[in-house]
Amino acid sequence: MANYKREEIEGKIQSQTTSTGQVIVNSGLVLPTETKITEAAALVQTAVSQVEPRTWAVYSGLVLTMFIWGLAWPVGRALEIANLPPVSIAAIRYTIVVPILFAILWLREGSFRIDRSWIPTLVIMGVLNTTLYQIFFLYGVKYAAASDDSLVIGFGPVLIAIMASFVLKERLSGTKVLGFASGLAGIVAISLFSPNTGAGFSNRLLGVTLVFGGATAYALYTIILRRFIAANHSENHGSQPSSLSILSWISLFGWFFFIPFSLLEAPWDYTWDAASWAGIIYLAVLSTVVGYFLYIEGVSKIGAGRSAIFGNLVPVFGVLTSYLLLGESLSSWTAVSFLLIFAGVLLVNRKPKSSGS
């Protein structure tokens, strides 16, 4: 980033150099030739000194985001260890999330308005990204260790790339197939050889499968979101939904589907202590709201591609925090699983070399 900015500024300086060897700065003054290098160096140094702290601040914010999301796994597991109803946890979580998001949406955009034609797609995305993902997540950590589950969710980018090949007609290369196989091998490894044997093999297999279902639901949501955004751009709508507007509405629609299932769980029959409420508030405020805004800030500064790279830290933080907070076990198979899934992510996102390179 700093090198790019340095080259950009140097290019601007070069373009402002006159044929007589003089350089024109923004103030309109013409500097003698002998001071050109000194002024140019000072300008570059000032810009770099401003860019580097900003870049590192963005990187730090993204790392913090991944830590928050990674910590959500042991927090969710702790709520399930307390024997609380999973769907009701999700329903209460989004009872907190939805008003906060809409309040911020109003403050930022001054309107909740959406095009009526968007509603069916937003409902589908809400069911996938909010309802199904949260149910899979909370039932997954109910049956399997949080550290194992956090590794499996790292397979998500692989699923997205493979689905895009079929749904969005993107090219399915041999490298992508190899990446899918590598990531799947990582899931099989942690399913069969996890050091967390307390829950039993059948429960672990069920938990891992449920989290895999959550990753699949999120991948489908991502594909539908891409098509939704592309369709709106191609139709040249007067107004495009912001990412905040999309998140707010899919959270609301997804929350609606929690309510009937939560009532069937009779959450009023359970004991909700201070620790339980602290965990739910963490998932609602920090993991969902704060995490979203930190990530969007990163995307706005360094782009979606570079920001997405940080997502590979979520399983790392998930494993470490589960080990530290819940006393879950680690072994060489934990590392093997992570490396296989990480290799899969790298392979499916590998750009093919152009024929001219």
Give 156-169 pLDDT, tens digit per residue.
989 988 888 888 77
pLDDT in tens, 92-131: 999 999 999 999 999 999 889 888 989 999 999 999 999 9
The answer as to whether 38 is a domain residue is no
The answer as to whether 167 is a domain residue is yes
The answer as to whether 287 is a domain residue is yes
Rounded distance between C-alpha atoms, residue 82 and residue 104, angstroms: 32
Contact 334, 88 (CB under 8 A): no
Domain residues for the domain of 329 are: 70-348
The answer as to whether 22 is a domain residue is no
Would you place residue 352 in the very low, low, confident or very high pLDDT band (cuts 50, 70, 90)? Answer: low
The answer as to whether 65 is a domain residue is no
Q: Is the dihedral of CA 231, 235, 240, 246 positive or negative?
A: negative
The answer as to whether 9 is a domain residue is no
Rounded distance between C-alpha atoms, residue 270 and residue 339, angstroms: 40
- Over residues 144-164, the mean pLDDT reads 92
Domain count, the chain: 1
The answer as to whether 318 is a domain residue is yes
The answer as to whether 355 is a domain residue is no
pLDDT in tens, 20-57: 333 333 433 333 444 444 444 444 454 444 445 678 88
End-to-end CA distance of the chain: 23
Angle at 152 between CA 335 and CA 215, to 5 degrees: 155
